[in-house]
Amino acid sequence: MKARVTVTLKAGVLDPQGQAIQGSLKSLGFASVESVRQGKVFDVELGESELPRAEANLKAMCEKLLANTVVENYTIEITP
Amino acid sequence: MKARVTVTLKAGVLDPQGQAIQGSLKSLGFASVESVRQGKVFDVELGESELPRAEANLKAMCEKLLANTVVENYTIEITP
């Protein structure tokens, strides 16, 4: 089973990397860019056939390693 | 208008960071993890009201800055 975990910064958390990208886009001529926030995406393949167990496992992975839940949100999409 | 750009490594391109995460997950007890590939996500806000122009702009941003199209794929999702 495949899953995509998307980790993004919470609202209000500063994102200097995103700001740098925004600056670069502006200097490349993309004047309409109002903000850029960068996040991470993890494509995980699981050798797990039960959906609830896969979901629970992925949630635990996010809490323990993939996301820093103090400053980041995560979403999990599972493709069975 | 808001857009999410997701940049992932092409199939076949080595992903040492993903492999390191996979190793860490295994050592944390997640034995069912078969592979992990890491990518990037950009949440872009555009001050643009026309959908086709926003789309064209985002595509140009990906080609010029956000993705390295030699080794990476990108997808664009627009929320008007």
pLDDT tens readout for residues B13-58: 999 999 999 999 999 999 999 999 999 999 999 998 899 999 999 9
What is the arithmetic mean of pLDDT over A51-55?
95
| Chain centre distance of CA A78 | 14
The SS3 of residue B4 is: strand
The secondary structure of chain A as a DSSP string is -EEEEEEEEPTTS--HHHHHHHHHHHHTT-TTEEEEEEEEEEEEEE----HHHHHHHHHHHIIIII--TTTEEEEEEEE-
Locate the chain A residue with the closest alpha carbon to B50. Answer: A32
pLDDT at A30: 96
Considering only the beta carbons, identify the residue of A35, A41, A60 that sits closest to B41: A41
> CA–CA distance from A74 to each of A9, A31, A50, A79, B2 (Å)?
9, 30, 21, 17, 18
For CA atoms A68, A70, A71, A76, give the dihedral sign.
positive
Q: By the 8 A CB rule, do B51 and B78 touch?
A: yes
Question: In a 10 Å sphere around its CB, with 0-12 CB exposed, 13-18 middle and 19+ buried, how is residue A11 labelled?
Answer: exposed
What is the tens place of the pLDDT at every residue in A4-34?
999 999 999 999 999 999 999 999 999 999 9
Q: How far is CA A80 from CA B58, B75, B78, in A?
A: 30, 21, 25
Contact between residue A49 and residue A67 where contact means Cβ atoms under 8 Å apart: no
Domains parsed from chain B with CATH numbers: 2-79 (3.30.1280.10)
The shortest CB-CB distance from A45 to any of B35, B38, B65 is to B35
Q: Tell me the sheet residues that pair with B37.
A: A43
User: Closest Cα of chain A to B69: distance in Å?
Assistant: 17
Q: What is the pLDDT of residue B13?
A: 97
Q: Chain A within 8 Å of B19 (Cβ-Cβ)?
A: no
